[in-house]
């Protein structure tokens, strides 16, 4: 059905949902009624790619904004969302590259995946204390965000949630968050300050990878799971505190951390994964814990600052090229009749029997 520039469908309760806008307005006040029916919803892709639309006022009759409703409205700079809105669908404002600010109504409890992804001019976001989850890619590549307040009600931060937010300088994860998804803050090039509370139990893969400005991170003992590549290519990282709960250093966890000079590995770690410390060119001190059983291939490849490392007698496996590209002067301190001694002899490495 149609009323002027609005196509709509009648819902079971007699209200209507806008399904398509066919007009060409630059400034638009969406009507609260169409053909005498109350407008309560804006449907899937209702305003998709309305590139001439610069500002939109949504009426207080609307309770839901559907998936990709304003997706690719690349001229949209201002949208007024009333407090009546209870849900904002996935990708609702994705790639609205001129959108400057957004205030999410207090009844909205979840920021759906890709809701504001690619809003490269978005500089200000206001979330209420009722939001419990930030979905996958929710704010990815919002390059103009310099700060972001995560409400104390949020429990989960999804995969890629803030990936590519290159202007973001600091983030405080509130004491309500339980899990941080894969790549959540990856490629946030200006991110310098991160606070992780002891409510967090899981840190996903590559969460802070390629955060070039990050210098120090403390991961609390509450964290039971840490994924691979968490700090990969954090070129200025100099200090990391790892939780006592860790049992393995995942592959590529610190690969390319060229400013990292030393690190304390928790005593419960039994495995160091492939490429875990590869190309940590400044690393000059590392103590491997007793109980360690495996060192992965390429684990310390290219660690040009290492001159000595003690391999515990508990180690039963050392992968290929584990110390490739380390200085010729590198000496491995090993136990007699150990796997490490056999490895040194087979690879022609310097060793000293402890």
Which pLDDT score, from 0 to 100, does residue 290 have?
Answer: 95
Q: Residue 169: which pLDDT band, with cuts at 50, 70 and 90?
A: very high
Residue ranges, CATH 3.80.10.10, the chain: 1-98, 100-245, 247-354
> What CATH number does the domain located at 1-98 have?
3.80.10.10
Which pLDDT score, from 0 to 100, does residue 269 have?
Answer: 97
Distances (CA, A) of 284 to 55, 127, 160, 277: 56, 44, 33, 12
pLDDT score of 252 more than 90: yes
Give the Cα separation of 209 and 214 in Å (integer): 10
- The token pair at 56 is 């939109």
In terms of pTM, does the model score above 0.85?
A: yes
- Chain segment 3-38, per-residue pLDDT in tens: 899 999 999 999 999 999 999 999 999 999 999 999
- Please provide residue 20's backbone torsions phi and psi, each rounded to the nearest 5 degrees: -165, 140
> What CATH number does the domain located at 247-354 have?
3.80.10.10
Q: Class of the 100-245 domain?
A: alpha beta
- Chain segment 85-100, per-residue pLDDT in tens: 999 999 999 999 999 9
Distances (CA, A) of 37 to 33, 65, 82, 260, 308: 5, 17, 19, 64, 78
Sorted by sequence, the CB contacts under 8 Å of residue 12 that are 6+ apart come out as none
In this structure, the number of other CB atoms found within 10 A of the CB of residue 148 comes to 19
Question: Which H or E run includes 345?
Answer: helix 339-347
């Amino acid at each position: 059905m149609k009323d002027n520039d609005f196509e709509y469908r009648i819902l079971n309760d007699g209200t209507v949902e806008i399904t398509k806008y066919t007009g060409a307005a630059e400034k638009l006040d969406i009507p609260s009624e169409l053909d005498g029916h109350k407008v309560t919803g804006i449907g899937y892709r209702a305003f998709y790619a309305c590139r001439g639309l610069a500002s939109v006022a949504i009426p207080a009759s609307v309770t839901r904004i559907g998936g990709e409703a304003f997706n690719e409205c690349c001229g949209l700079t201002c949208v007024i969302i009333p407090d009546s809105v209870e849900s904002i669908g996935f990708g609702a404002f994705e790639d609205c590259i001129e959108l400057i600010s957004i205030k999410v109504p207090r009844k909205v409890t979840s920021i759906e995946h890709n809701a504001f992804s690619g809003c490269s001019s978005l500089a200000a976001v206001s979330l209420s204390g009722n939001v419990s989850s930030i979905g996958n890619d929710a704010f990815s590549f919002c390059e103009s965000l310099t700060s972001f307040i995560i409400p104390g009600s949020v429990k989960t931060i999804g995969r890629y949630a803030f990936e590519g937010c290159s202007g973001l300088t600091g983030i405080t994860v509130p004491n309500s968050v339980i899990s941080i998804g894969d790549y959540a803050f990856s490629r946030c090039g200006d991110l310098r300050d991160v606070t992780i509370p002891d409510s967090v139990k899981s840190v996903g893969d590559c969460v802070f990878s390629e955060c070039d400005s990050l210098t120090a991170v403390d991961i609390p003992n509450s964290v039971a799971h840490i994924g691979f590549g968490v700090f990969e290519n954090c070129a200025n990282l100099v200090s990391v505190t790892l939780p006592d709960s860790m049992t393995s250093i995942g592959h590529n966890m610190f690969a390319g951390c060229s400013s990292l000079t030393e690190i304390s590995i928790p005593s419960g770690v039994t495995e160091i994964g492939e490429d875990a410390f590869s190309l940590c060119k400044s690393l000059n001190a590392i103590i491997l814990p007793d109980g360690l059983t495996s060192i992965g291939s390429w684990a310390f490849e290219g660690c040009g600052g290492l001159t000595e490392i003690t391999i515990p007698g508990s180690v039963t496996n050392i992968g290929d090229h584990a110390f490739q590209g380390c200085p010729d002067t590198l000496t491995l301190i090993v136990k007699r009749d150990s796997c490490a001694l056999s490895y040194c002899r087979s690879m022609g490495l310097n060793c000293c029997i402890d």
